[in-house]
Amino acid sequence: MKRWLIILVAALSVAPAAAIDTGKAFDDPELQARYEKLISEVRCLKCQNQSIKDSNVFLAADLRREIRRLIAEGKTDPEIVDFLVTRYGEFALYRPRTSGKTLILWIAPFLLVLFGGFALYRVVRHRMSLPIDDAGSEGGTE
């Protein structure tokens, strides 16, 4: 099965430029799902902020073709990502890879919520200690 795919893709790779990406999906839904997820997370470097999934330009089509080929060759997702990063740098990925500085990015949401929660706790505790009575309400029932 895999060999058949490789032959097919290889045959298509030398086809004239107009028929580069035939859009023939992988028969294996899992492979197809991987393909679709990958192409939605790769930046089209020629474009003004679009993924290669959404872009019409030929570079996007070429990159889709390469990813399709790599999946068909049995490469894992990290290997495919490495392929792209070696050639285009981290900028090509919409999902920042976890490294020293991007780790902060991935933890940031939780850190901020914790910080906010802590601030909230301080304020509410302080207000709970204050007298609740205040001048009669003016300006509406809300």
Nearest approach, Cβ of residue 45 and another protein (Å)? 4
Q: Per CB under 8 A, does 82 bind another protein?
A: no
From its phi and psi, is residue 89 left (phi > 0), alpha (psi between -120 and 50) or beta? left
What is the radius of gyration, based on Cα positions, of the chain? 26
C-alpha to C-alpha distance for 45 and 24, rounded to whole angstroms = 24
Count of residues for the chain? Answer: 142
Pick out residues in 37-66 that bind another protein (CB under 8 A): 40-41, 43, 45-51, 53-54, 56, 58-59, 61-63, 65-66
Pick out residues in 20-39 that bind another protein (CB under 8 A): 20-25, 36
Q: From the list 3, 11, 18, 136, which residue makes contact with another protein (rule: CB under 8 A)? A: 18
